[in-house]
Structure 1
Amino acid sequence: MKKTQSPVRIALLFGFSMWLVAALCYWVYSLDRANSQEALASGRQLIIHSSSNGYIPGVLLVLFTFGCYAFALLALRPDKGRNRKAAEWVQKVTTYVSVAGLILVFAGHSWFSNRWEAKAEALGYQPCPSLTLLINRMTYQAWTKNLDLCFDPEVSRLVQRGGPEESKAVEAMLAQRRRP
């Protein structure tokens, strides 16, 4: 006879997995923000920005809320016929917070992107024109202090994926060009 999973084990697994994914998203968000701030502070000729980190705060809110929901239902145990009112209240709160998180996904993306772009423009950077660098990356954009770099074939060869190391490689290539 096959043993079935108990609802308690499933709720624990779901709750912890939501929190684990939220923790991983926060780690990625922290690394991406640190890379963005470092790129702006570096003064390099070409920097690369990913606007995808703006989605993460809303995603974090939704994942954390789902984890809390699983643990709240585990504590209330409405399947045993008790605490039904409290479980309904938890479900309503979870729904409202999840909808707010989904709204934050898109609003956060716009806010973070606009904020970063304003900082980059204040430091003298301009976005590379469309279809010049990183054309295969939807959320990545190259920013430069010298628009000629956007059309440079050697820069195009170096900048393929949008990682921070590519920006450093372009800076090293430019330093080598300046040497007699």
Structure 2
Amino acid sequence: MTKPMTIKKSLIGLVFFCILLIPPFESLFDKEILGRFGRLDFQLAANYPVIYINIEYSTFIAGGIIALSGAMFMLWQLICLNKGKPPRSSEHYSTKAFATAAIIGFLFIFPGRHIERSHMESLAEQKSYQACPPFTLLMNSVSIDAWVKDFSLCNDPEVDKIAMYGYPDEPAKIAELIAMRNKALTRPQ
């Protein structure tokens, strides 16, 4: 036998889901944190020799959808309980709407990540980038892929020292390294 929903439980659920909203909103809407995902359009516009394809933000979008729908559901439960109405059962439309929003959130995580990765990879291929093989660049990062214009950079030890973790400032540092190399090669002896 399940215990009935109470105002206290609804309030705790509302606070919990509101707390879960903090990371998605912070990561998606804070101007300083937005760059942590290494925006691909900026990398392509700068014509870096090495770019990173990072789709970690899709998890934050999914978390935001689930947390927002959960907060709205708990708020609805709280309002109904305050008015003296019985709590919403699994047959009620609000419960079905919450379950649907949770499913949509999970669709952002699984097929959505694949679709977004495919889209970003096609953008990189249009700009003549090619993917580095596994276990070359970015060995310490599971969710970020390195793409290069010159395939020899995938096995370059100096580039490998810079491209360790997939930080958004690494492609610019690699571009500086390549520019210094080219400058040293073209300098008259």
TM-score scaled by length of structure 1:
0.84
> After superposition, what is the alpha-carbon deviation per residue over 1:33-84, rounded to whole angstroms, capped at 9, x for unaligned?
6622211211111111213223333222112111111111111118945364
Q: Which amino acid aligns with 1:166?
A: E
Number of aligned residue pairs = 176
- What's the counterpart of residue 64 of structure 1? 68
Q: Are residues 131 and 99 of structure 1, via their aligned partners in 2, closer, same or farther at CA, if it must alter by over 3 Å?
A: same
Partner Cα separation in structure 2 for residue 34 and residue 166 of structure 1:
9
Partner Cα separation in structure 1 for residue 139 and residue 121 of structure 2:
19
Q: Tell me, yes or no, if structure 1 residue 44 matches structure 2 residue 48.
A: yes
Query: SS of the counterpart of 1:164?
Result: coil
Partner Cα separation in structure 2 for residue 65 and residue 167 of structure 1:
37
Q: How much does 1:15 deviate?
A: 3.8
**Pick aligned residue for 1:113 from 92, 112, 117:** 117
8 Å Cα contact 1:14-1:70 kept in structure 2: no
8 Å Cα contact 2:37-2:55 kept in structure 1: no
Q: Which amino acid aligns with 1:16?
A: C
Q: How much does 1:17 deviate?
A: 1.2
- What's the counterpart of residue 3 of structure 2? none
Q: Which amino acid aligns with 2:43?
A: A
Partner Cα separation in structure 1 for residue 155 and residue 38 of structure 2:
28
Q: Which amino acid aligns with 1:175?
A: A
Once the two structures are superposed, the pairs formed by residues 9-24 of structure 1 within 5 Å of their partners are 9-24=11-26
8 Å Cα contact 1:45-1:144 kept in structure 2: yes
- What's the counterpart of residue 91 of structure 1? 95
Q: Tell me, yes or no, if structure 1 residue 138 matches structure 2 residue 142.
A: yes
Q: Which amino acid aligns with 1:150?
A: C
Identity %: 21
More displaced, 48-57 or 19-28? 19-28
Partner Cα separation in structure 2 for residue 41 and residue 88 of structure 1:
50
> After superposition, what is the alpha-carbon deviation per residue over 1:88-144, rounded to whole angstroms, capped at 9, x for unaligned?
321121112212221222121011101000000000110111111111211111111
Partner Cα separation in structure 1 for residue 101 and residue 112 of structure 2:
15
Partner Cα separation in structure 2 for residue 141 and residue 83 of structure 1:
47
Q: CA RMSD in A?
A: 2.7
Q: How much does 1:148 deviate?
A: 0.6
Q: Which runs of 5+ in 1 are unaligned?
A: none
- Choose between structure 1 and 2: higher helix proportion: 1
Structure 1 residue runs of 4+, over 6 Å off? none
Once the two structures are superposed, the pairs formed by residues 163-178 of structure 1 within 5 Å of their partners are 163-178=167-182
Partner Cα separation in structure 2 for residue 34 and residue 141 of structure 1:
11
